[in-house]
Structure 1
């Protein structure tokens, strides 16, 4: 865990090329989701012992906050004025709308979400894929049948004996390896890797803050660890990226490396405060993980409520 470790743009671009060229899912198609096989899903099912299911999502935010100027909108549309009929049948109805890629709500980033040098994952020209109607390729539709596999939670604040990492802290490859060793596991091919930085707990205890200026996340160099282990999905209770960015010229380097170079879907702003204590108490940090995005065929992402089943 470090608070400053700058990377030059040249070094970042070199890292981008290395990760792109050895991406396990290739440079197109379903990307890193290709690393999950039927055999691995069956093995993940054997992680279930008690049958307990734990949500990894945060409640959807509907109030303006320092980290959410455009919160989700949810309102009752019927009965009119909130007054039901005194007799006979009536229905309560509501409407919901949200900015999928906000800084509070739990969501999945599709492979069409990150544009770098005018291209998407696999070198596809973004202008040829994206339109006001959505994305013609690499959309969240790649995960239309859900993502099911072995989930692995690496708890970085626990490793350092703190409740959360302070905003601006970087999670390094050494942190990931140390947490892996301390928790007695090894991240492997096809795993759904979840990295806790404590962002959600800090928000709940101290209140929201402007995360565009300061938040804990992964250092770009940590993506070498992720690439080596060939995981299928990367998620965090923060944005995955640190702010300020370690690469001055690139605001979200982990997003660029994961989504654009590696074809690795990201889960942003999850919540691990129910799961982590269970894992610590039971002494196991792996579980069956089920992620079911909405069927939005041309969307760049989706709200999600991932489940850990222990």
Structure 2
């Protein structure tokens, strides 16, 4: 699908939750399983390929051994099994312990249609989304339809520093990045977003968390409110993402939006994942990409990602790279 209805047409399913796009790509299977990734066309991929001028490949993944920022998630366990003449790896890890894509079964509309109910993309309920025997809307769709297209980096710390604006507080949700800043940054760095493109937003969170000692990171995990920076989740942000045809988003912070959101308010996790089927990437390592973009003076590049082909999976390491 290369066209989509205007934002004013949402919700598509009138009996569904706010701003949903359920049924836009058909019902129960096929293109519906891919959600907003349907906007990535062969032309989108060719447009990404055409940005490659230097032949520079940049890794966008933190190590799987990265210490998780959420207290409920355990770090990776790595065992080497030696048979005497050869070695095998045995890994045990939460797919959200490090850099990752959230899948459509990860986060639901909260307390919809009533208190205590949680409704995922396409109307799947919490029981279905937690059932290993049900493969629908699983992370394998990110392997069948790789998240590969032209992409753009909005380097917010660089923009704020250049204009002598207050810096982002990485471990707080008190000062979200408004759409006006995203748009100003895009304009300054000549970023033009087209349908099927992928948007990366750098906040500087990665540098901040990696500068913390193990003890300091443990203290952050044990806070009463595990807050983090991100974009401001509101109506104008949703409209801008929809109207621009953005196929996937990712950032270097634990949630694309500031977290947690205020009680009762919609979050990007609800609207993007459960409403539109739009992948959200978290904890991407954007440090080297920022350096290369600054050096080359351009912020658009080819992006490739092939997640784990786990049928019915919830999330996946992205195995992502930028090629300039």
Q: 1:69 to 1:122 in 2, by over 3 A?
A: closer
Distance in 1 (alpha carbons) for counterparts of 2:53 and 2:160: 29
Q: 1:73 aligns with which of 51, 73, 77?
A: 77
1:108 maps to: 101
TM-score by length of 1: 0.82
Do 2:160 and 2:167's aligned partners in 1 also have CA atoms closer than 8 Å?
Answer: no
Structure-1 residue corresponding to 2:13:
none
Q: Which aligned pairs between 1:213-292 and structure 2 lie closer than 5 A?
A: 213-221=226-234, 222-238=237-253, 239-245=255-261, 247-249=262-264, 253-292=267-306
**Residues 1:242 and 1:224: Cα distance change in structure 2 (over 3 Å):** same
Deviates more, 1:141-150 or 1:30-39: 141-150
Aligned residues of 1:19 and 1:224 also touching (Cα < 8 A): no
Partner of 2:135: 136
**What residue is the counterpart of 1:159 in the other structure?**
159
- Which residue number in structure 1 is paired with residue 323 of structure 2? 309
Q: 2:153 and 2:166 mapped to 1: Cα distance?
A: 15
1:68 CA displacement: 7.1
**Alignment gaps of 5+ in structure 2:** 1-15, 113-117
Over 3 Å counting, the alpha-carbon distance change for 1:286 and 1:260 in structure 2 is: same
| Cα displacement (A) at 1:181 | 0.7
CA shift in 2, pair 1:226/1:59, >3 Å: same
For residues 176 and 93 of structure 1, do their structure 2 counterparts lie closer, same or farther at Cα, with a shift above 3 Å needed?
same
Unpaired runs of 5+ residues, structure 1, are 1-15, 80-84
Q: Are the aligned partners of 2:104 and 2:279 in contact in 1 as well (CA < 8 Å)? A: yes
Deviation at 1:19, TM superposition (A): 3.3
Asked if the contact 1:218–1:254 (Cα under 8 Å) also holds between the matched residues in 2, the reply is no
Q: Give a deviation string over 1:186-224, Cα, whole Å, max 9, x none.
A: 222111111111110111224433385221012111233
Q: Deviations over 1:276-308 (max 9, x none)?
A: 010011011111100000111111111122000
**What SS does structure 1 have at the residue aligned with 2:140?**
helix
The answer on whether the counterparts of 2:36 and 2:278 sit within 8 Å (CA) in structure 1 is yes
Stretches (4+) displaced over 4 A: 21-27, 62-69
Size of the aligned set, in residue pairs, is 282
CA displacement at 1:65 relative to structure 2:
7.1
Q: What root-mean-square deviation, in Å, do the aligned CA atoms of Structure 1 and Structure 2 show?
A: 2.7
Instruction: Show the counterpart of 2:20.
Output: 20
> Which TM-score applies when normalising by structure 2?
0.79
Partner deviation per Cα, 1:147-171 (whole Å, 9 max, x = no partner): 2100111111111117962132311
